[in-house]
A and B are shown apart, each in its own frame.
Chain A
Amino acid sequence: MWISTSRLLAYLYGLVFAVGGLAASDADTDFTSVRSQFVKNYSGTGPSEPGEKYFQESSFHYHYDGRFANEPLSDKETPPHLSQLIRTYLSTMADLGAETWIMHGTLLAWWWNQKIFPWDNDIDVQISEPTIHFLDEYYNMTEHHFDIPGLNGGRTYLLEINPNYVFRSMDDKMNVIDARWIDTSSGLFIDITAVRPDDERRKDGDTGALMCKDGHTFDENDIFPLRNSHFEDFPVKVPFEYVKLLEEEYGSQSLTATEFDDHHFNEETLVWDSASKRKRSSRRRSAVDLPVRTTPLKYKLE
């Protein structure tokens, strides 16, 4: 069935007003209502049943939030945006006393040079179940403004919790991501997944079993106690058995091979250089422009 653009727009307007009215009535916000700049919603629709999937990926790139951008950033702009994205997230969680740590591709990037991979705009972090309850209770849909050196006006970030996080089953395949930390200036975001006790495996006697809704399972002793390190020149926590976890997930060559796609790891400068672009990566280990929070935090996890 084909719907004309104008009809679709009219429909969307109607939806926005309807939702806006609802939001005004019970002072609650949800996914579509937090659009600030764009009239049109650039969110793509979920693959099967729309409405069931809470977080939407943009229609132009799977790693942008279509409510805050209509096109991806240039290759040059992306890395600095991502750096500030993870720093502001880590800073916020540290200020709240909320336990979070990096995982998957981000942990591998940390292994290599404690910087985000230049070819990857996916950032994976995990939080524990008590933490997501706390964030949902006090900080869902909160905006956090940061001053960023050399950037006029700073940036505002949005913490959004997927209300489906309370369903603790891997069967909820539409809502495997439990929360997002979104850069409202670019639409870039961090996927946040909650790590929960795996009740089914625990019933079978595996007392340390953990799971995420994205299908990953862990053991308590592989993650805890967390270690304190640095990522993008910011304090970060990493799982206790980081080598074991990385080797299991990506194989031993992921820890050693200095070639990836068209990138080469320069063992002198400790930076991934792009081979095809014939230029040294701009991501040098240079002076750090750390973000500074301006929005006060009211509640803390103690």
Chain B
Amino acid sequence: MAGTYSNLSNIPNISNLGSFDYTTDDSSDDGLHSFDDNQNNDASSSYPLSKYTGPLVDYVRNEWQINPKYASLPTANTDSSDSPRWIQILGSIVTAPRFRRYVVVYLTVLISCWAGWKFFVAPRLEEHAALLHALDPQVKEEMGGWFGANALPRFDDIVQLRKLEPSLLPEESASKSDSSSGKRLVFIGDVHGCKDELDRLLEEVSFNPDTDHLIFTGDMINKGPDSLGVVDLARKYSASCVRGNHEDKVLSLRHNMIAANTMDDEFLDDANLHRGQYTRERKLARQLSDEQAEWLDTCPVILSVGQIKGMGQVVVVHAGLVPGLDLDKQDPYSVMNMLTIDLDTHVPSRSREGMKWTKLFNKHQSLLSDSLRGTFENPESMLTTVIYGHDSKSSLSLKTYSKGIDTGCVKGGKLTALVVRDGGEQKLVQVKCQDHTKN
């Protein structure tokens, strides 16, 4: 930087630069100084200050104007004569380092804004609009009706709906004296026969059979190592349960095998062509005792838990509910299997392609909440919160009106309990699981 002041060549000394030596021969040919202070420190005294009588600035000579060496300075653009002036200006702007810096900064900001819009804001706005459209009664007219208009088919061996004994519900207000004496509901996600993990989970929540009530969200059996142990534990503690798709399959097979008289002889399975390829499920169906199977058969498709503070009407199902439809009008197959829902017709599907049912359900409940707010004193009590399992791919999914607690225990994930105590206080407890799918 100092080199740009080369025209000060004949000024030998400036008081505050006293330690530097500006020699004439040093600047004569290229205008660059030598800042070799080690060598020339002593020499500064040879130029007496008295030689200059006026202000230093008067002695400044603009050498670049006089010296022929600088007469033709090489310009940045040698082809300047060919291109118009605005290109030259543009060129000089673009080549300026500050400009480049700003370009980089602004481009980054712009791209992140665009990406944020494209991948975050716009899809959410679209989804919001799609959900609102899907719940618009006018769309129902256009589509000719929504899911649930039919007279619901009944099945002989399936209980559609059960209500939890109200005395098991936690109290409205939190018990002040001793927190351990209050009543608790312990909702447990898909166990799939992982008995050891279930034992550890109960230990973790300090399960007390006198005050706590277990509620399983279905798929207690199959896949894992000890389905029978899990059923026995649930029976021992008089737990509540709902029918999952795995209970549905195993129990349906069992009923058919009893009807066809093939319970005792597994070789008959092969003789009976096309009865579903459920070797593992058939095996389990045979292992279940009549008492165990009967107990599982009493698990309803939908368990209506009742009012819990902060959650409104609590309902337990295995997979999901169709919004805006009474519990006794919910199709049992769909309740045990749904993952997504068709936005036009509200037909639920076990496929993963499409809108998750929880999104439509939560939107429906929040719209309902808005419409109830002005008219009712306690609108919360008229809303529904669903506690469900089934969707281990999405793992834990806690939304305002839906709580998904299948965290894939049998695949080496976690086993989750949602504990609700007096006053509606909720707590999640999880234990790690061994991967039982490998062996």
User: CB within 8 Å of B: which residues of A?
Assistant: 110-114, 128-130, 195, 197, 207-208, 210, 220-221, 223-230, 235, 238, 240-244, 247, 252-253, 255-259, 265, 267, 270, 302
From known contacts A208-B277, A228-B155, A243-B331, infer whether A255 and B253 are also in contact, taking CB-CB under 8 Å. Answer: no
Instruction: State the CA gap A207–B276 with chains docked (Å).
Output: 10
Q: Which residue of A lies closest to B250 (CB)?
A: A225
- Whether the Cβ atoms of B277 and A220 lie closer than 8 Å is yes
Q: Which residue of A lies closest to B146 (CB)?
A: A256
Instruction: State the CA gap A253–B142 with chains docked (Å).
Output: 11
CB contact between B274 and one of A114, A223, A240 (< 8 Å): that residue: A223
- Whether the Cβ atoms of B151 and A257 lie closer than 8 Å is no
- Whether the Cβ atoms of A111 and B253 lie closer than 8 Å is no
From known contacts A241-B333, A257-B143, A258-B145, infer whether A265 and B150 are also in contact, taking CB-CB under 8 Å. Answer: yes
List the 5 closest A-B pairs by CB distance, nearest first. A257-B144, A224-B276, A228-B156, A252-B347, A270-B151
Instruction: State the CA gap A256–B150 with chains docked (Å).
Output: 7
Chain A residues with Cβ below 8 Å from B346 are: 256
From known contacts A228-B255, A229-B155, A265-B150, infer whether A252 and B345 are also in contact, taking CB-CB under 8 Å. Answer: yes
Instruction: State the CA gap A252–B341 with chains docked (Å).
Output: 11
- Whether the Cβ atoms of B144 and A258 lie closer than 8 Å is yes
Instruction: State the CA gap A218–B276 with chains docked (Å).
Output: 11
B66 within 8 Å of A (CB atoms): no
Q: Which of A110, A241, A258 has the most CB of B within 10 A?
A: A258
Instruction: State the CA gap A214–B50 with chains docked (Å).
Output: 121
Instruction: State the CA gap A207–B155 with chains docked (Å).
Output: 29
CB contact between A256 and one of B273, B334, B345 (< 8 Å): that residue: B345
CB contact between A224 and one of B147, B255, B274 (< 8 Å): that residue: B274
- Whether the Cβ atoms of A242 and B333 lie closer than 8 Å is yes
Q: Interface size of B by Cβ–Cβ distance < 8 Å? A: 39
Chain A residues with Cβ below 8 Å from B344 are: 252-253
Instruction: State the CA gap A223–B345 with chains docked (Å).
Output: 24
Chain A residues with Cβ below 8 Å from B148 are: 256
A215–chain B nearest beta-carbon distance, Å: 18
Q: Which of B334-364 contact A (CB under 8 A)?
A: 334, 342, 344-350
- Whether the Cβ atoms of B151 and A112 lie closer than 8 Å is yes
Instruction: State the CA gap A113–B151 with chains docked (Å).
Output: 5
B252 within 8 Å of A (CB atoms): yes
CB contact between A229 and one of B145, B147, B154 (< 8 Å): that residue: B154
Chain B residues with Cβ below 8 Å from A265 are: 145, 149-150
Q: Which of B387-403 contact A (CB under 8 A)?
A: none
Q: Which of B247-279 contact A (CB under 8 A)?
A: 249, 252-253, 255-256, 261, 272-278
- Whether the Cβ atoms of B274 and A267 lie closer than 8 Å is no
Instruction: State the CA gap A81–B153 with chains docked (Å).
Output: 23
Q: What are 12 A-B pairs with beta-carbon distances under 8 A?
A: A128-B273, A223-B276, A225-B255, A241-B333, A243-B331, A252-B342, A253-B143, A256-B345, A258-B149, A265-B145, A265-B149, A302-B261
- Whether the Cβ atoms of A229 and B349 lie closer than 8 Å is no
Chain A residues with Cβ below 8 Å from B290 are: none
Chain A residues with Cβ below 8 Å from B261 are: 302
Instruction: State the CA gap A113–B342 with chains docked (Å).
Output: 22
CB contact between B347 and one of A114, A235, A256, A267 (< 8 Å): that residue: A256
B157 within 8 Å of A (CB atoms): yes
- Whether the Cβ atoms of B350 and A244 lie closer than 8 Å is yes
A279–chain B nearest beta-carbon distance, Å: 20
Chain A residues with Cβ below 8 Å from B276 are: 208, 220-221, 223-225, 240
Q: Which of A128, A235, A253, A302 has the most CB of B within 10 A?
A: A253
Instruction: State the CA gap A43–B150 with chains docked (Å).
Output: 38
A112-B151, A224-B256, A267-B149 known; 7 other A-B pairs, CB under 8 Å? A227-B252, A228-B157, A229-B154, A252-B344, A256-B146, A256-B149, A265-B149
User: CB within 8 Å of A: which residues of B?
Assistant: 143-151, 153-158, 249, 252-253, 255-256, 261, 272-278, 331, 333-334, 342, 344-350
Instruction: State the CA gap A57–B66 with chains docked (Å).
Output: 118
- Whether the Cβ atoms of B255 and A243 lie closer than 8 Å is no
A288–chain B nearest beta-carbon distance, Å: 15
CB contact between B273 and one of A110, A129, A229, A247 (< 8 Å): that residue: A129
From known contacts A243-B331, A259-B144, infer whether A229 and B274 are also in contact, taking CB-CB under 8 Å. Answer: no
From known contacts A130-B272, A208-B277, A220-B277, infer whether A256 and B143 are also in contact, taking CB-CB under 8 Å. Answer: yes
Chain B residues with Cβ below 8 Å from A255 are: 147, 150, 345, 347
From known contacts A240-B276, A243-B334, A255-B150, infer whether A225 and B252 are also in contact, taking CB-CB under 8 Å. Answer: yes
- Whether the Cβ atoms of A230 and B273 lie closer than 8 Å is no
A194–chain B nearest beta-carbon distance, Å: 11
- Whether the Cβ atoms of B255 and A112 lie closer than 8 Å is no
A223–chain B nearest beta-carbon distance, Å: 7
Chain A residues with Cβ below 8 Å from B333 are: 241-243
Q: Which of A110, A224, A226, A259 has the most CB of B within 10 A?
A: A224
CB contact between A247 and one of B156, B256, B347 (< 8 Å): that residue: B347
Chain B residues with Cβ below 8 Å from A128 are: 273-274
Chain A residues with Cβ below 8 Å from B347 are: 243, 247, 252, 255-256
- Whether the Cβ atoms of B274 and A220 lie closer than 8 Å is yes
Q: Which residue of B lies closest to A242 (CB)?
A: B333
Chain A residues with Cβ below 8 Å from B147 are: 255-256
Chain A residues with Cβ below 8 Å from B253 are: 225
Chain A residues with Cβ below 8 Å from B348 are: 243
Instruction: State the CA gap A221–B273 with chains docked (Å).
Output: 12
Instruction: State the CA gap A225–B333 with chains docked (Å).
Output: 13
Q: Which residue of A lies closest to B256 (CB)?
A: A225
Instruction: State the CA gap A195–B337 with chains docked (Å).
Output: 26
B210–chain A nearest beta-carbon distance, Å: 39
A239–chain B nearest beta-carbon distance, Å: 10
B261–chain A nearest beta-carbon distance, Å: 7
Q: Which of A208, A226, A227 has the most CB of B within 10 A?
A: A227
Q: Which residue of B lies closest to A97 (CB)?
A: B260
From known contacts A113-B150, A226-B256, A229-B153, infer whether A256 and B145 are also in contact, taking CB-CB under 8 Å. Answer: yes
B335–chain A nearest beta-carbon distance, Å: 11
- Whether the Cβ atoms of B151 and A229 lie closer than 8 Å is no
B12–chain A nearest beta-carbon distance, Å: 96
B176–chain A nearest beta-carbon distance, Å: 49
Q: Which residue of B lies closest to A222 (CB)?
A: B276
- Whether the Cβ atoms of A114 and B153 lie closer than 8 Å is yes
- Whether the Cβ atoms of B144 and A256 lie closer than 8 Å is yes
Chain B residues with Cβ below 8 Å from A256 are: 143-149, 345-347
Instruction: State the CA gap A230–B348 with chains docked (Å).
Output: 23
Q: Which of A114, A128, A225, A253 has the most CB of B within 10 A?
A: A225
